[in-house]
Amino acid sequence: MHAETGNAITIRFALPAPELRPYVTTYYRTDAVCSPSEPYIEDYLHPEWSNLRILSDSLGEAAIGSDPLRRSPDFAVTGPTSRSTRFRIGSGRSWGIGLLPLGWAALIGAQACDYADRFVDGFEDSAFAGFRSLAQTLSVSSGDFDEELALIEAHMGEVLESGIETHEAIAEVNAALVDPEIGSVAGLADRVGMNVRSLERLSLRAFGFPPKILLRRQRFLRSLAQFMLDPSMKWLKTLDYQYHDQAHFVRDFQRFMGMSPSEYARLDKPILIAAARARMEIAGEAVQGLHRPSAAN
């Protein structure tokens, strides 16, 4: 585990147990301290896979895409996203559990496309009933990082022991998506040995979006990750080789982040820059969407 600390933020990441790595990217805890004059810290989260977030003693607001800010549930479940998420957090701590598409399919079971680009209250949505006891336990826990991490690991281990189905095709598609050599739907279908229609159905069910959007998102994230690790870089130096030119990248940036690259570069990023560096050190990738899935045991 590792921490990156800014003026008022500490973010710590931990990898799951080896048997859970095909399903879970990382666990992460955010501790915020806000001054009375500035009661919130605000940032913009890039598109990513689904996450379970438990706010133990902090208040938060979030909005995906052009939606208005609204109060984050104490147990917030965000489906896979293709739009940026504007969020604000106050003083306190929160935990997150990042799920790979295989984790969503095996641990949740709901159609990912039904939760794409939205977040819901995990205490109210029956699809997430299996994680409510964990959320309730964390809400009254000691605050000690190691103790709370152990609670999460124990609960996730119980979920695994209860029996989950491995969907080999989902893991294969995920592995192909993080391969920078795959740039077309036809190439993706050929890599995983599926016809395009079957690939589209699987993509909506487990990944939340059609393959064309997923490939476009991955190309964008590869470029964004370079900038997040070194914000002093010029955008031209971050561009993925699949971009034809800078205008091509700017169109994608507007699509996925809702703003231009220059607008984003001018924003303070008190949480995401620290998170990218901490995630890179512990998990080998700066953003969740580029996380390489482990093979299921």
Return d(Cα 240, Cα 226) in angstroms, integer: 9
pLDDT the model gives residue 296: 53
Per-residue pLDDT of the chain (297 residues; tens, 9 = 90+): 544 444 578 999 999 999 999 999 999 999 999 888 888 899 999 999 999 999 977 789 999 999 999 999 999 999 999 999 999 999 999 999 999 999 999 999 899 999 999 999 999 999 999 999 999 999 888 899 999 999 999 999 898 777 566 688 999 999 999 999 999 999 999 999 999 999 999 999 999 999 999 999 999 999 999 888 888 888 878 888 888 889 999 999 999 999 999 999 999 998 998 899 999 999 999 999 999 988 654
Structural domains in the chain plus CATH codes: 2-165 (2.60.120.10), 168-288 (1.10.10.60)
In the beta sheet, which residues pair with residue 55? 94
pLDDT the model gives residue 109: 80
Give exposure, 216-250, as e/b (b: 16+ Cβ within 10 Å). bbbbbbbbbbbbbbeeeeebeebbbebbeeeeebe
pLDDT the model gives residue 36: 83
pLDDT the model gives residue 214: 98
pLDDT the model gives residue 5: 41
Residues 6+ apart with CB under 8 A from 258: 65, 66, 83, 84
pTM: 0.93
Measuring CA to CA, which residue among 264, 260, 252 is closest to residue 227? 264
Return d(Cα 254, Cα 131) in angstroms, integer: 35
pLDDT the model gives residue 282: 94
